[in-house]
Amino acid sequence: MGKNVLKSLLLIGTIILGHEVSNAQDKIIDQVLAVVGSNPILKSDIETAAIDKQAQGITVKGDAKCVILEELLEEKLLLAEAELDTLITVTDNQINQQMDRRMNYFIENIGSEKEVEKYFNKSIVQLKAEMSETIKEKLKTEQMQAKIIAKVTATPSEVRQYYRSLSQKEIPEIGSQLEYAQITMLPNISEKEDLNIKAKLRDFKKRVENGDNFATLAIMYSEDPGSARNGGEMDYVGRAMLDPTFATEAFNLKLNQVSKVVRSEFGYHIIQLMDRKGEKIKVRHILLRPKVDPKELEATKFRIDSLADFVRKGKLSWEQSCYLYSSDKSTRNNGGLVTSQHSGSSKFEMSEIDPDVSKVIANMNIGETSKPFLTLDDKQREVYKIIKLNNKTKSHKANLQEDYQKLSEMFLAKKKETTYRNWIAKQQSKTYIHVDDSYANCNFKLASWKK
């Protein structure tokens, strides 16, 4: 403990001296407001975080500086543990994706790049340089937090006990919910478009093999918004996380080899293997999506409209139609029933439903089949869709029979929060922590920050 204190005091002196020298012209000395182990939290850290939250439209309840300080105290505890965990890694690609998301949000909400520079009083280059380390630390702490609560589960008996312990005021009000099924149809791609896309990708492959840079071509031509800006680069992934045809080709490549043209559910690709670690690979790719002829779109609308008419007249059951004709592999074997990717539940509040669907389903009756409408599927392909409203419930107090999934999610969230708070308290007890007296009146979630 004594060594930690001495180390921290020496570090504080070094920081203040360093800032005093570097900012001599402006006569500004940054102030250390807290120390966690050997990691300081500066006044400028809190001010920067406050500006960042404001720029992202994040509001804070209570004293903003106290809330931000406690968040930073927690982050420093998590970061210290994450640095010791060799399984927690952050790639440049992850940092760049986060940075791009933040910068795009700033530009959308503040205005142009010039307005963002004016708001932060820094150039975009400076802003990105300063954000890089902050984002890296944030990603590490998020991984650490996820690891702490990864094994927390909720058993049915725990959920029942939790529900029975709630007072009438504590039992949540469940809004109106619906369950619906869908049938989707993909328009056909013309042979001419198919050949054209393949020819373009073969040309890219030849150019790379003749010395052109794959990453540059990906930035210029790839239609995968998630990876194109990073030169087509993807994070390390296992076989199960990839489209099967993409995975088969990618895992058979040699280092730096460029694949033949591969067709997946997302479109057409060429792939280059960058690295391999055990059962995971790192690749970059160029994706091109075939363009749909308007005539094919109209023909698809006619086909699915005829199918919907057959269903309404009882010539085909909904389930048969779905199994035989739906292009959605994830729902066609269970009658088209749509479930949440997050919770696995088939019950949705209106606000949780895709806007294209909610506009159609709002005025439907139970058992009714909709008219066809054009939308995008989960692979971002244009599809025509019909839906059937299976069930709709009214607003009510939650009960175990109808709302077990919702109650289970609530209890699990509470249990995870308790597990996380217990971990923080345990780490606090064995870590040197000092908070400046100017924050003595902060109403922290954990009073034990002020020792």
**What does the alpha-carbon distance between residue 275 and residue 344 come to, in Å, rounded to a whole number?**
34
CATH code matching the domain that covers 2-151+416-449, chosen among 1.10.1060, 1.10.4030, 2.40.50, 2.60.40: 1.10.4030
Residue 286's beta-bridge partner residues? Answer: 270
pLDDT given for residue 156 in this prediction: 96
Percent of the chain with pLDDT over 70: 93
First-to-final CA distance of the chain = 14
Q: What is the CA radius of gyration of the chain?
A: 27
pLDDT at 25: 36
Q: What is the CB neighbour count within 10 angstroms for residue 272?
A: 24
| Cross-strand partners of 35 | 40, 434
Q: Give yes or no for a contact between 31 and 43, defined as CB atoms under 8 angstroms apart.
A: yes
**What pLDDT score was predicted for residue 130?**
85
Of 93, 94, 70, nearest in space to 142 by CA? 94
Q: How far is CA 331 from the centre of its chain?
A: 23
Identify the CA nearest to 202 among candidates 162, 128, 258.
258
> Are 2-151+416-449 and 191-288 in the same CATH fold?
no
Block means of pLDDT (10 residues each) for the chain, 451 residues, are 37 35 43 89 88 77 88 92 89 85 83 87 88 90 95 96 95 92 96 96 96 96 90 91 94 96 95 93 96 94 97 96 95 94 86 93 95 93 96 93 91 95 91 90 83 65
pLDDT reported for residue 23: 38
How far is residue 424's CA from residue 78's CA, in Å, rounded to a whole number? 8
- Token duo for residue 319: 């389930």
Asked if residue 285 lies in contact with residue 215, where contact means CB atoms within 8 angstroms, the answer is: no
- Residue 267, CA distances (Å) to 108, 225, 239 in order: 29, 13, 18
For every residue of 407-420, DSSP letters joined together read: HHHHHHHHHHHHHH
Q: Are 268 and 262 in contact (CB under 8 A)?
A: yes
| Contact present, 139 and 98 (Cβ < 8 Å) | yes
Which amino acid does the sequence have at 323? Answer: Y
Q: State phi, psi for 362 to the nearest 5 degrees.
A: -55, -40
Whole-number Cα distances in Å, 244 to 237, 255, 262:
13, 20, 11
The Cα–Cα gap between 320 and 138 comes to 49
Helix ranges, 166-287 (H): 191-209, 214-221, 225-228, 244-251
Contact of 382 with 189, CB cutoff 8 Å:
no
Rounded distance, CA 217 to CA 395, Å?
Answer: 53
> Looking up tokens 């004016």, which residue turns up?
118
CATH code of the region 174-188+293-397: 3.10.50.40
Task: Report the C-alpha gap between 262 and 288 in whole angstroms.
Answer: 11
C-alpha–C-alpha distance, residues 236 and 87, integer Å: 13
Q: What distances in angstroms separate CA 21 from CA 28, 33, 35, 129, 440, one per listed residue?
A: 9, 19, 22, 21, 30
120's CB contacts (< 8 A; 6+ apart) are 51, 55, 127
Backbone angles phi, psi at 350, to 5 degrees: -55, -35
Domain ranges of the chain: 2-151+416-449, 174-188+293-397, 191-288
Partners of 349 in the β-ladder: 177
Q: So what's the pLDDT on residue 451?
A: 65
Tokens 């590490």 correspond to 140
CATH topology of domain 191-288: Chitinase A; domain 3 (3.10.50)
User: Residue 256: left (phi > 0), alpha (psi -120 to 50), or beta?
Assistant: left
User: CB neighbours of 269 closer than 8 A, spacing ≥ 6?
Assistant: 201, 246, 259, 261, 262, 263, 285, 286, 287, 288
